[in-house]
Structure 1
Amino acid sequence: MLWEPEDVVRVLDPSEQRFVRHATFTGRSVTVRGELDPVALGAAFAALQRAFPILVCRIVEDAEENGILLRPGHIEPVGAWVSFGDPDEVRIPAESLSPRAQLGYLDVVLAEEDRARVTLFVHHSVADAGHCVELFARLWGYYTDHVETGSIAAGPREYPESAESLLARRGVVRGPRSGLEGVTRPLVVADAVGVVQSSQPASPALARPARVQLDPAETARVLELARTRAVSVNGLVTAAVLRAFAAVYGVDQVGCVYPVDLRRRLDPPVAAAAGTNVSGLAAFTTTEFDDVVTLARRIGTALHDDLATGVIEQSVLHFPDFFGPTRVHSTAGHIALTNTGTVPTFRAPDGLILDDYEIVYLSAHPRPSTGASAAVTFLVYTYLGRLTLARLGGGPRAVELLSAAADELTWDAADHEAASA
């Protein structure tokens, strides 16, 4: 046995288990201009670890490869890693990054001419997008406090709960529909790699999505288009991605799956850092591609209906059917799209500029997946007034996807502006 019973916090729930097999860490990274104080940043990270003790917990796996969350015990926390290098690169840290040691790491790369890169890696089992952004914002807040006052006030918080636990306490039980029926297909042998037979983990792997960024003027036009046409930005972006995918790959039917943060939709609402992965999955499939606005409106209507009927929450309770060794359905071949919305401007001392932000993923010990494989994955976020579209996977033709999706957004926004003039 690798732990004592008193060390166990709990066995992870299915919404969290799906990130255990690969030891998936999600990273939030910024480039920094100005004089960065690495000692103050190390103190800020230590404060973050005290305030959010989930970061210094560990995950181990039992014989069935179930992830078990453990308290840190008397293990000394791993502090911030600081070294010199190229801040334009997001790297795999040279030091060992393992969920068996702790679940949050900070990598700081310093360079000459007052440039740096700071990347916070957090295990995806214990933090989704909303949680990670909250942690990153707290880190920079603590850093600013230390630089400006020499002290940091940070009291410890409770461990975050799973979506399943939060739903159960609100009386939500599993029903007959998952909400993913429109993108579900029969489970075939090719989908079942790794389900029956375990494999040895591979070396750590970093995924840095390719990106295209709209400039502030283009981003503002997209926001104005959404406002004047009474559609959501998420609907517009999703519609643009679906139209681009259909055009690039020459298909007449496209399905997509995207997470929906449930925190503000639960009663009572859930704070950003009070839950681990508090997102349901929404699904949308279409054979009609219309124009961007019309398609965005249909996407928004479908989401509204699924939220109103509670189907989005139901997807979480059906996760065992879609992820992991007991799954019976597949959504392989769908488009996965995660829109984390507007990223807040992080606090920073005078003279320090956090001038770029991106999302990366690191698999500490990747193994063949037991979950559905997306045809391509898109990430969407807005930082400092710039809308970013990012892509992972998609095969040889995927290099065309980002520019095609951006063209869908910017052409329609510009066209609408000209027509309204």
Structure 2
Amino acid sequence: MTTTRFAPSPTGHIHVGNLRTALFNWLIARKAGGTFILRIDDTDPDRSKEEYVDAIKEDLDWLGLHWDRVERQSLRLDRYAEAADKLRGMGRFYEAFETPTELDLKRKKQLNMGKPPVYDRAALALSDAEKDRLRAERGAGVWRFKLDQQRIEWPDGILGPISIDAASVSDPVLIRADGQVLYTLASVVDDTEMGVTHVVRGSDHVTNTATQIQIIEALGGTPPAFAHHSLLTGPQGEALSKRLGVLSIRQLRERGVAPMALLSLMARLGSSQPVELHEKPEDLLDGFDISTFGAPPTKFDEHDLFPLTARVLQGTPLSAVADRIRAAGVPDDQAERFWTVVRDNITTLDEVDGWWTMFSEGADPAIEDEDRDFIAEAMALLPEGPWTDATWGEWTAAVKDKTGRKGKGLFMPLRKAVTGQAHGPDMSQVMPLMRVIRAKG
């Protein structure tokens, strides 16, 4: 069975880059009728927060990316310890004691010599007595996995054939000196024991994948099918790292972005297929093909989300937004008319408040100096409210007869005087909702 996973660290809110990973893995699992696991990477007790675990679940639920089960890495530490013991017994795990300063000096020396800055495996030459002395002086060391220094190859689902020389990669640290198990080991153990068949993640993990393939094979497992999607940049190709706070799923939701606007864009962005707006996440399955995505960095502009959100709202029935309309102050008996009038003229749902304020309290009129006498004359012809569907046509006809104005010269000044806007819904629909018209001329 196809099994995928999304493995966020609960150290903050998930952002659009995380979403891309989650969505691709969700789509692969759902398209194959398989299993999608939400795996919380909470092996760092100092940085992991339960509030972020809850926030991750809430954000995914809001998007409609529902998981089949939740796993917590903090509850599987015994499994990682067993894997570490197995690697030690195979001679593939060794303790190293260099300080960060010493490692930095080694890297600089290698670079000056024109060599790749990889760990020199000096710890392998330590005697038991030397290790005991270093532990007494420095405390416990880190534990490194001993790579077989040969080429590591796999057919990447997006990047194509990948071949990495393990001799150009440092033996990865899998357990820190304080005993914390790092992602590289925990992920390997989990993927193997949970039967994960496909892993899609960012291209910044390519080197991690190479080392993890060797660790999986050392532990007797079969590597999953890997695919590495491109990283997102800003619209000008700039790094998103400084803007991820405002591009968190939570922030985008607070800015009024519709979940299907976000999913529809992210499901096709960077692929050879056009972005199409869909009604529900399951609709994205049709046509989704991981191989259609490209390797170059993918430009993401959050402003593209708002026209899509506007289109979502245009097709949204009143029943789906009734509570929000009521919260804006719209009486239930006017809600249907109100929503019909405004939904084609808003970008986000938050804008309904401003529209209802305009209808209920009147708008600041926009009157050009040359139109002031005309508006004063027109307002004298406006019948007393409440106004009906026929009011606009009857009023403008009376004003035309009295002033001789017609066409744009008639309708535009009146629209701006009543609504304060040059554009908007059909005025015959607006007038029945207007309770106050402030224009005096």
- Alignment TM-score, normalising by the size of structure 2: 0.22
Q: Which has the higher helix share?
A: 2
Say which structure, 1 or 2, has more relative contact order (CA 8 Å, 6+ apart): 1
Q: Which has the higher strand share?
A: 1
- Alignment TM-score, normalising by the size of structure 1: 0.23
